[in-house]
Structure 1
Amino acid sequence: MAELDALRMIWDKHDAAWRARLAAAADYLRSHGHLAAPAATPEGAWLAEQRHLAAKNTLDQARANALTALDPTWRLPHGADWHRKHHLLRGPPRRPRRPHPRHPARRAAPRHATPLAARRGGSGGGA
């Protein structure tokens, strides 16, 4: 029996199909950053069915745990549209913009810059 398991023998075709869909959902999560897949896609239809089963408390607890391990917000508590927009707004971290070389006001002062009074030879005290 252990040898057949080592060969990845499929004992339950329904469980194997479910795990394949879970892997597809994981791929979607890696690509899009959320599990709010549109229902028109295979991943979205499958996830909608899992959410429906979870809402009726008929989703197997081990499967619910596997989805929660994948993404704690897989049930989309705020709705699919909110999760999609939240991901877009959160987005990847942006690199700081470099100042444009032709606009002096946008240029950062060099680290070795000295105060204007010191460059002119004055004390900077005024009057």
Structure 2
Amino acid sequence: MDKSTTKGCHHIGLTVAKLEESADFFTSLLGWNEVRRDDEYPAVFVSDGSIMVTLWATKEEPSSQFNKNKNVGLHHVAFNVENEDDLNSIFRKLENNGIKIEFSPELLRQGPAKHMMCYEPSGIRVEFIWPGN
């Protein structure tokens, strides 16, 4: 194929068990904007100005937490950060607010890129990456 028929990502839709806490993770902790709500579903749409994430509330209690090594589905979602200071700042803010951290900022492979991984309040793995340039 000579040319891709798609052009980037429009949005990511995530089903969450804790809608308000998950929305707060993006808006209060990461500084994203709430774009709109759909109280009938319910859902909250948030954006960092480059990507939109749609948070859809579960209709029933989840039967079990997602296991990245066992289940087919979203392994994690990864977001770029502009610089290493931003990566470290996100880490401190999340840690200070009781967000579960899988690993703190570290080299990605041999570097210079660095990344960290956490879990948003509904248990979805979220990675933050500074490309190191």
TM-score range, shorter chain: under 0.3
User: Which one scores higher on RCO, CA 8 angstroms, separation ≥ 6?
Assistant: 2
TM-score (norm 2): 0.22
TM-score (norm 1): 0.23
Higher helix share: 1
Instruction: Name the larger-Rg structure.
Output: 1
Higher strand share: 2
